[in-house]
Structure 1
């Protein structure tokens, strides 16, 4: 009996008395076929550095653009994410509002994807996941890559903004006096992640005129 009591006293406190571990932030990242695939890749790298759990979707044309514009293989890009889904997998966890995420970023975002989300035409996992994020009142950011913009594009942008999404064209910030394309990419990615209250600290912020 004494031995049993001593064993009990040696045990660690119950789980109820232990501090709960901090839940990792969880983000959906989607890459479409628009130009600027390096923006999506850099977003994945930065989220990994911030220890954010990522759920990745790459469209068929995004794969083609990645191969054309970068030296990354599709396997390399997929390896940057915690979870990867087929763009046609409508039964994926992220297709349901009961699967909790902190938000979704589509980077780069094509005008076709913009139109699909705005119309509620969920014919693939990217548009379905975005539709879920909107209906659950979570943050959706679209890094739209198109210029010039037609009236149709502008109307879709206005409508989807009214529905709660944020349009973020990755416009280069020349006030940082970039010395490379990487500087411009890092700045755009950092500003996009600011919208999710994620500080990448990997870009220069405006602090007034420098003497």
Structure 2
């Protein structure tokens, strides 16, 4: 049985990044353990005027509907404040973890080892266990504090993949731009499940 990938969703603008990541991961039959921070609920309300359910089973259906993948893969959702859940333990085996999108508040808390909720605790566990952790910060401009926190994470082995799209693949839609970022983030976990036109020299 394939080990699961933990997907953390923080309260940064750009929830489409999480939705598109889930779309491709579930379609490729990956097993996903998802935890959304408390602020994510507010961002759904602000960006889409949508109320994200708190019940894990209802939330699974919510994310599947948003991703447009009702069948395929496995998706287990966790309560943001359940710091005693399985993904909070170093004995829980995973492929790693990706936080997408990742707010600068979450970056700061992970960088300082502050495990005040399940997303932060799961991230901390990946670092201490030497497992892959990828963060996709969506902020601009970066302040000196942001850069120092990101540097701290990079020095601890965390991969930093800012939500910066490219144009050499000739994107036609917003989804094309988003998918480029998601694909590059998943590349760092050696996951290739997104049809992406990659760079080729002329």
TM-score > 0.5, shorter chain as reference = yes
Match in the other structure for 1:146: 139
Superposition TM-score, scaled by structure 2 size: 0.87
Root-mean-square deviation (CA, aligned residues, Å) is 1.7
Q: Match of 1:57, SS?
A: strand
- Which residue does 2:56 correspond to in 1? none
1:170 aligns with 2:153: no
Q: Deviations over 1:35-54 (max 9, x none)?
A: 11000111111110121110
Cα distance in 1, alignment partners of residues 64 and 200 from structure 2: 36
Match of 2:63 among 77, 84, 107: 77
Q: Matched residue of 1:174: which SS?
A: coil
Unaligned runs of 5+ in 1: 1-22
Which structure is higher in RCO with an 8 Å CA cutoff and minimum separation 6? 2
TM-score, normalized by length of structure 1?
A: 0.83
SS at match of 2:168: helix
Ranges in structure 2 where 5+ consecutive residues have no aligned partner:
53-58, 68-73
Q: Kindly tell me: are residues 73 and 183 of structure 1, through their superposed partners in 2, closer, same or farther at Cα, counting changes over 3 Å?
A: farther
SS at match of 1:191: helix
- Residues paired across the two proteins, number: 187
Q: Give secondary structure in 2 for the equivalent of 1:187.
A: helix
Deviating beyond 2 angstroms after TM superposition, the runs of 4 or more aligned structure 1 residues are 66-75, 78-81
Matched with 1:104 is: 97
